[in-house]
Amino acid sequence: MEPLNVEHAGRTLRGVLHLPRPHDAPVPAVVLCHGFGANRMEFGNIFVKLARDLAAQGVAAYRFDFAACGESDGDFAELTVTNQVAQVGAVLEALASHRALDPDRLSLLGMSLGGLTASLAATENPVRTLALWAPAALAVEANEPDEVEYWPEIVEKGYDDLFGQPVTRRFTEDGFGIDSWTKAAAFTGPVLLAAGTEDELFPDDVIDHYREIYADRLELHLFEDLDHCFETVPARAALVDLTAEFLLRTM
């Protein structure tokens, strides 16, 4: 594991690269995109576990903190989906020039808001395959800025608290202004989607949307009786295993 920072829009995005040892030829790599207000470890250090597992099997993994998260620079009040997509683009560009990595075998994985971000970034960058863990649907259920009116706290004071972080009007207007289903459908590679059946942030109609846009390119894994963060030890172990298997097979 080695530190690898990426510059974007005057801010430093801090991250670490897990490389297979030894590696004679350039290796494939996957970028891990964390969720809202999280960091490059993700819940229960699951990104660390996945990255180590992949590196042991010959695939590099890059974990980074989005701007204003973890150790990266930035103000959380400036968070938008569009900006996170741009950050992923900068990360992919940096990895494509890394001497140890194969620029033609780069993939994305995202958790929650990071999943939404990854699904959009995959349509703007040369990405081989895509893995989504409980991707956020907040910004795909409406496409009009006026939808922010349904969030009265933001209307009243300019932001709302979510997990101790400010959700601003800038964030909601940006997210609600993205036609995410149409844009995400432009990705033509293999897609893995994992979610819990009791995830209130990921209802059945959202699953149906993903089935529709990705069609036979989609591999769907539903975890019975679990919610957004795959809360049991067996479930998290299974999630790492099935994701690693998918990436190794499709990259």
Contact criterion met (CB below 8 Å) for 204 and 137:
no
- The answer to whether residue 247 is domain-embedded is no
C-alpha torsion sign, points 110, 34, 84, 18: negative
Residue 223 within a domain? yes
Amino acid at 129: T
What is the spatial distance between Cα 161 and Cα 168, in angstroms, rounded to a whole number? 9
**Residue 7 CA to chain centroid, in angstroms?**
19
Burial grade of 92 (CB within 10 A; 0-12, 13-18, 19 or more): buried
pLDDT band at 139 (very low <50, low <70, confident <90, very high): very low
The verdict on residue 211 lying in a domain is: yes
Range 163-184 average pLDDT: 85
The model carries a pTM of 0.93
SS (H, E, C) the chain: CEECCEEECCEEECEEEECCCCCCCCEEEEEEECCCCCCCCCHHHHHHHHHHHHHHCCCEEEEECCCCCCCCCCCHHHCCHHHHHHHHHHHHHHHHCCCCEEEEEEEEEEECHHHHHHHHHCCCCCCCCEEEECCCCHHHCCCCHHHHHHCHHHHHHCEEEECCEEEEHHHHHHHHCCCHHHHHCCCCCCEEEEEECCCCCCCHHHHHHHHHHHHHHEEEEEECCCCCCCCCHHHHHHHHHHHHHHHHHHC
Using the CB atoms, write b or e for 189-228: b if 16+ within 10 Å: ebbbbbbbeebebbeeebbebbeebbeeebbeeebeebbb
The structural domain count of the chain equals: 1
- Please give the average per-residue pLDDT across 123-142, as a whole number: 83
In-domain check, residue 248: no
CATH number at residue 191: 3.40.50.1820
Q: Check: CB of residue 136 under 8 Å from CB of residue 194.
A: no
Assess if residue 165 is contained within a domain.
Answer: no
Domain-located, residue 128: yes
Q: Is residue 161 part of a domain?
A: no
pLDDT grade, residue 214 (50/70/90)?
very high
**pLDDT (0 to 100) of residue 146:** 53
**151 lies in some domain:** no
**Residue 13 forms beta bridges with which residues?**
6
Q: Residue 90 belongs to what domain range?
A: 2-140+180-242
The percent of residues in the chain predicted with pLDDT above 90, rounded, is 72
- How does the average pLDDT of the chain come out, rounded? 91
Q: What is the pLDDT of residue 45?
A: 97
